[in-house]
Amino acid sequence: MILDGKGLAKQNETILKEKVTNLKGKFGRVPNLKVVLVGDSPASMAYVTSKKKACNRVGMDAEVIMLDINTTEHALISLIEKMNVDDAIDGILIQLPLPKHMNETYVLNHVSPNKDVDGLHTINGGKLFTKQDGIVPATPLGVMMMLDHYQVNLEGKHAVVIGRSNLVGMPLSKLLLDKNATVTILHSRTKDMKKYTLDADILLVAIGKPKFVTKDMVKKGAVVVDVGINRVDGVLVGDVDFENVSEVASLITPVPGGVGPMTISALLFNVIKQYEVKYHD
């Protein structure tokens, strides 16, 4: 059976729309997201456009600020600092990757943790790893929302995460651990990967290697979550060989239509969370 991220994200839009309407009634304005894109990579352009469109569909304000690829790090940080003190802005998203001449961590740490909607500020990362309420990166949050919706029981289960990035693998592993799964994290230096994947009750893959996970690596009945987005000959494919792995998995995310839409859905919840925090301070 399919873990239908697209369908669930659509359902979430009804909830989000209602939340936005209520917030507008209560505080007189709708949440406002600024998305900053440096450069004009077609993939990043597609991502920022779909984020803006999703905001608008639920009644939020969103603007994409496009900066030239040669923008200096200093100029980007000045813009971020201006947005940090603008009360009309609730969320600031810096689309990654940034150009090579910028230090991503340094830039992201200039976004106010109270306007960080990607959960990538060191303070929000620290909160996640010390069990404090903060902003969780949208992709792992979206994955957890999907597992929760499909009532995938994680307690005592063996969750195997392939990938250990700050954006996906690490926060996802912590969220699974917080749900009392027993978590194994695999990465590019792992030896004999199959030994671990074949034991996974839930296998979550975020590496960026097309169709890396094959049927022989998956236990019968496992839940498989494919975070990967790869473009092969103009076609989007995940990190999992969907066609063959779906023969053994009990639940599996398609690509596209799985984790991607849930990431956007979780982002919108994060924007609302930052808006609400502002009014509760």
Ligand X SMILES: NC(=O)c1ccc[n+]([C@@H]2O[C@H](COP(=O)([O-])OP(=O)(O)OC[C@H]3O[C@@H](n4cnc5c(N)ncnc54)[C@H](OP(=O)(O)O)[C@@H]3O)[C@@H](O)[C@H]2O)c1
Is residue 118 part of the annotated active site? The answer reads: yes
Is residue 201 part of the annotated active site? The answer reads: no
Tokens of 191: 């030896």
Q: Which of residues 21-60 bind ligand X (CB under 6 A)?
A: none
**Could you give the angle at the alpha carbon of 128 between the alpha carbons of 122 and 132, nearest 5°?**
110
| Rounded distance between C-alpha atoms, residue 112 and residue 117, angstroms | 10
Cβ nearer to ligand X, comparing 101 with 187: 187
| Rounded distance between C-alpha atoms, residue 164 and residue 154, angstroms | 20
Cβ nearer to ligand X, comparing 168 with 222: 168
Cβ nearer to ligand X, comparing 29 with 194: 194
Least distance to ligand X from the beta carbon of 114, Å?
A: 23
- b or e along 160-173 (b: 16 or more beta carbons within 10 Å of the residue's beta carbon)? bbbbbbebbbbbbb
| Rounded distance between C-alpha atoms, residue 79 and residue 37, angstroms | 12
Q: Are 17 and 10 in contact (CB under 8 A)?
A: no
Count of residues that bind ligand X according to CB under 6 A: 24
Least distance to ligand X from the beta carbon of 231, Å?
A: 9
Which of 107, 115, 64 has the alpha carbon at shortest distance from 89?
115
Cβ nearer to ligand X, comparing 113 with 163: 163
Q: Are 264 and 51 in contact (CB under 8 A)?
A: yes
Q: Which stretch binds ligand X (CB under 6 A): 52-60, 80-88, 111-119, 184-192?
A: 184-192
Is residue 95 part of the annotated active site? The answer reads: yes
Least distance to ligand X from the beta carbon of 38, Å?
A: 17
Least distance to ligand X from the beta carbon of 43, Å?
A: 8
| Rounded distance between C-alpha atoms, residue 209 and residue 240, angstroms | 8
Q: Which of residues 192-231 bind ligand X (CB under 6 A)?
A: 206-209, 227-230
Least distance to ligand X from the beta carbon of 29, Å?
A: 28
Cβ nearer to ligand X, comparing 79 with 98: 98
How many angstroms separate the Cα of 212 from the Cα of each of 11, 154, 203, 206, 215?
31, 24, 13, 10, 10
Please tell me which residue in 19, 51, 157, 273 is annotated as part of the active site: 51
Pairing of strands 32-38, 223-226: unpaired
Residue 91 is a binding residue for ligand X (CB under 6 A): no
Question: Which residues lie across from 174 on neighbouring strands?
Answer: none
Give the per-residue contact string, 143-182, with ligand X (x = CB under 6 A; - = no).
-------------------xxxx-xxx-------------
- Other CB atoms within a 10 A radius of the CB of residue 108 amount to 21
Cβ nearer to ligand X, comparing 95 with 246: 95
| Rounded distance between C-alpha atoms, residue 209 and residue 228, angstroms | 7
Please tell me which residue in 95, 241, 273, 274 is annotated as part of the active site: 95
Please tell me which residue in 4, 118, 201, 241 is annotated as part of the active site: 118
Which of 91, 96, 97 has the alpha carbon at shortest distance from 63?
91
Q: Which of 139, 246, 265, 274 binds ligand X (CB under 6 A)?
A: 139
Applying CB under 6 A, the residues found at the interface with ligand X are 139, 162-165, 167-169, 186-190, 206-209, 227-230, 259-260, 263
Active-site residue numbers?
51, 95, 118
